[in-house]
Amino acid sequence: MGIRQIRFCDVTGTEDDVEPHEIHIDQMRIEIDLAGLEYRRLLEALRPFIDAGRVEAAAPDTATLPARAELPPSRRRAGRAPTGTGLSATERVQLRQWAEAKGLPLPANNRFKQSLIAEWRQDTAPAAPESDVDVAE
C-alpha cells in the first residue's frame, strides 16, 4: 500500500502546485512548502539580495518560471484528479468547527469529502435577501 502526501502552502493554505523549498541564511535552515505564486513572490522579494550577493547555485529567474498549466505532464500529476479541495486554511478550520458542532465524523488529515464540503457550503451560505416587493397580478 502506498502513502500519498498532501502538501499545503505554509503561507496561503492552498493545496495546488505546492512544493517544498529550503532557505539557508546564517545558521538557519528553513523548510517551507510554497505554492508556485508564493515561491515567485519570495524570489522577487529576495532578488536585490541574490543579485548583490555571491550565489553558489543558479537562482531561478521569476520571469521564466512556468505557470502550472505550462508544466510538463510529469509535474502536473497527469492522469489523476486534482487533490485540491479549493478550501483556504481558514475555510478548513470553519468546516471542521461546523462538522464537529453537528457531530459529523471527520478525517484527522483534513482530507474532506466533496459531499461534506458541499453540505457545509449549502448550510453556511448566506440566505438570499427576501424581496418586499408585491407582485402585481
Question: What confidence tier does 101 reach under pLDDT thresholds 50, 70, 90?
Answer: very high
pTM of the model: 0.41
My answer on whether 26 and 55 are in the same domain is: yes
Q: Give the model confidence (pLDDT) of 49-88 as tens digits.
A: 878 877 666 556 555 555 555 554 444 444 444 445 667 7
Q: Examine residue 34 and state whether it is found in any structural domain, yes or no.
A: yes
Q: Examine residue 10 and state whether it is found in any structural domain, yes or no.
A: no
Q: Examine residue 137 and state whether it is found in any structural domain, yes or no.
A: no
Q: Examine residue 6 and state whether it is found in any structural domain, yes or no.
A: no
Please give the grid coordinates belonging to residue 119: 453540505
Q: Examine residue 134 and state whether it is found in any structural domain, yes or no.
A: no
Domain that holds residue 46: 18-75
